[in-house]
Amino acid sequence: MKLILPSPAKINLSLWVKGKRVDGYHEIITVMHTINLMDIISLLPSNRLELSIKGNSSLPLDKSNLIIKACKLFQEATGIKPKVKIKLEKKIPVGAGLGGGSSNAATTLKGLNLMYDKPLSDEKLQEIAAELGSDVPFFLKGGLAIAYGRGEKLKHYTKSDFKILLIYPGFSCLTKEVYENLPSIIRTEITVEAAERLIVSPLINGKFEEVENNMENDLELSNSPCVKRVLKIKEQLVKFGLKPLMSGSGSSIFSIIKDENFDVTPLKKEGYWFKFLSAI
């Protein structure tokens, strides 16, 4: 059977850093929502594992690609050697804080599990996903969730319905470098319950002004040169009347849109890549 699966991007409606862990990761609390910007992953039975990519010539095709990593972990967990031709149609900008690679890994895991009659339970899928990356478990279900721990622990909520304007400035930020250049931040006051009160419940109730006033991303405090570039663009977007926030570790910036006929002329003048998108 041939499978054609969407692999959506995400935005972080907030991200708070509680401190650095002994394993080198940071303890975070973040609110994520999938959006209708997506890669397409197709899986076709074949006599061996092969990957081809359309839409991005710089991505690796070898074991450093998160799709191939997902195939390897699937084989280790099930003993099944995936004999599948995987085609990736890339639309999500890479290194943009949109979770494109993490989403691809999760979608591949789900696809292989479907293709081989579900040898893995949901719990086992979560476990493997967490090995692939901190953002990967979220994409097994997507929608609206609070992620905590290093990002692999999840509390899902009913999806919300809102629109955003997403701006991608044309350069990537490396997640590792953004975290490594963070000053020490100890947001003791932020808990899952606080994130529910500040972001999740106003979002679900359509109180977008309240969400905008509460949303924060502690990764904007990073001394990474990439983040500094993003913040300069963010300042400009504020002048255009937006209430922008960097998504994840950057480089993209989003703003919740209450009215679709926002004048995009200044964005066009700056030559930014931008899209009106919806939460899904």
Ligand X SMILES: C[C@](O)(CO)[C@H](O)COP(=O)(O)OP(=O)(O)OC[C@H]1O[C@@H](n2ccc(N)nc2=O)[C@H](O)[C@@H]1O
Ligand Y SMILES: Nc1ncnc2c1ncn2[C@@H]1O[C@H](COP(=O)(O)OP(=O)(O)OP(=O)(O)O)[C@@H](O)[C@H]1O
Identity of residue 92: I
- Mark whether 10 is an active-site residue: yes
- Mark whether 135 is an active-site residue: yes
Q: How far is the CB of 138 from ligand X (least distance, A)?
A: 8
Residue whose CB is less far from ligand Y, 6 or 95: 95
Size of the site for ligand Y (CB under 6 A): 18
The interface partner of residue 67, options being ligand X, ligand Y, none and the CB cut-off 5 to 8 Å by kind, is: ligand Y
Closest alpha carbon to 233 in 204, 202, 266: 266
Q: Binding to ligand X by residue 135, rule CB under 6 A? A: yes
Residue whose CB is less far from ligand Y, 74 or 240: 74
Q: Binding to ligand Y by residue 248, rule CB under 6 A? A: yes
Residue whose CB is less far from ligand X, 182 or 194: 182
Nearest residue to ligand Y on Cβ basis = 101
Q: Binding to ligand X by residue 272, rule CB under 6 A? A: no
Q: Binding to ligand X by residue 137, rule CB under 6 A? A: no
In DSSP notation, 85-143 reads: EEEEE--SPTTSSS-HHHHHHHHHHHHHHHHTT--S-HHHHHHHHHHH-TTTTHHHH-S
Active-site residue, selected from the candidate residues 18, 69, 90, 135: 135
CA distances from 277 to 36, 171, 257 (A): 6, 20, 9
CB 144 within 8 A of CB 196: no
Distance of CA 206 to the CA centre of its chain: 22
The interface partner of residue 151, options being ligand X, ligand Y, none and the CB cut-off 5 to 8 Å by kind, is: ligand X
Query: Torsions phi, psi of 66, nearest 5?
Result: -60, -25
What are the catalytic residues?
Answer: 10, 135
Site of interaction with ligand Y (CB under 6 A): 59, 65-67, 94-102, 104, 135, 175, 248-249
